[in-house]
Amino acid sequence: MSNRSISWTPEESYSNTICLILLLPTFILHILFWIQVCTFKTLHDASLLWIYNYLILDMISLCQILLEYITRHSTVWNVSSLGFNILCTLEAYTNNFTTMVQSFALILTNIYRYRLIVKKKKILKSSILYLIIIHLCIYSLPLSIFIMQYIFSRAKLVIIDGISCDVEYSAFIDQFVNIFFLIIIPTLINIPVIIIIIRHVQASQNAVQSVRRIHRHLIIQFIVLYTIWLLFFLPQIIFLLSITSSASQRLITKILDMMAILFDVLVITLFDRRFVKVWKMNARRILLICQRRQRQVNPVSLQRSQLPRTL
């Protein structure tokens, strides 16, 4: 089995280096976020389940972009034909897959907050089986759509050597199906639900002020998050549903992807008091550690500064 080179052309490699400037700080920020989630039990809350799903998909996108950069930036990276096809398939489909699943995750986030705020119902341990089934559905539906499109020859993998791997749709119905699940369904569900939640919060005059404040923060968080998703991913969807042969289109798509991923974690962190509290706590700990180390470095000078001055 012959090997194939998956490396970019020099021009393509240079343009993608710009993406690396955004990729590294975004990746580090997400790693820090997940360290907080793993180490603080206050963040192990069922109400954050779908938000965590959303951010996990962001991490999958980041890992795919990082893998693409590592494999394609090297000038001596040769892989087998099977490995080449696997890497190209991941490159072509990962962004489509994560975007579609994230649209479902946003729907479920909004529905859960409707149940929490309007119906006063939380996720119970007895609901674990239903949650597993829902997870399987939202992750398997996009895969099923892509597989069906490929089987019936409505979508094919287009490989442009030294540049990119893309998906080409031969029928308008396939493009419509993708847009239907990516944009139309989430919009038709999310907008009415968020309107109902806002009206309920405005009408609940008898609620405790602190509870109303929390509900308002959750509403603002979702509106900002969904707006970011629409603003950054709508141009991407237009590009991804066609052959992105233009270098500028590919570059814009990746930059928008990483900017959206960066803003996702910032919005979720800043508009939820639990994350704000954890970050403040860690900031205080870091400051205390720095102060202790500074005192250990100059203990003699500190002692001398404390002695009374003599005439």
Rounded Cα gap, residues 259 and 64, in angstroms: 15
**Tens digit of pLDDT for each residue in 100-128?**
888 888 888 888 888 877 777 776 666 77
Rounded Cα gap, residues 95 and 93, in angstroms: 6
Tell which wins on pLDDT, 34 or 118. Answer: 34
Q: Is the pLDDT of residue 156 over 60?
A: yes
* pLDDT above 90 coverage of the chain, percent: 2
For residue 156, the surrounding DSSP H or E stretch is strand 155-160
**Tens digit of pLDDT for each residue in 61-98?**
888 888 888 877 765 566 777 777 888 888 888 888 88
Mean pLDDT of the chain: 77
Rounded Cα gap, residues 252 and 271, in angstroms: 28
At 153, give phi and psi (nearest 5°). Answer: 60, 25
At 160, give phi and psi (nearest 5°). Answer: -105, 105
**Which pLDDT score, from 0 to 100, does residue 302 have?**
45
Lowest average pLDDT, out of 41-45, 175-179, 242-246, 289-293, goes to 242-246
How many angstroms from the chain centroid is the CA of residue 242? 23
HSE value, Cβ hemisphere, 13 Å, CA-based, for 184: 7
How many angstroms from the chain centroid is the CA of residue 115? 24
Rounded Cα gap, residues 50 and 258, in angstroms: 20
**Tens digit of pLDDT for each residue in 268-290?**
887 777 888 888 888 888 888 88
**Most confidently modeled range among 13-17, 122-126, 167-171, 287-291:** 287-291
The secondary structure of residue 9, as a DSSP letter, is: P
For residue 294, what are the contacts with CB-CB under 8 A and spacing of at least 6? none
For residue 3, the surrounding DSSP H or E stretch is strand 3-5
**Which pLDDT score, from 0 to 100, does residue 124 have?**
64
Q: Is the pLDDT of residue 47 over 50?
A: yes
Confidence of residue 208 (pLDDT cuts 50, 70, 90): low
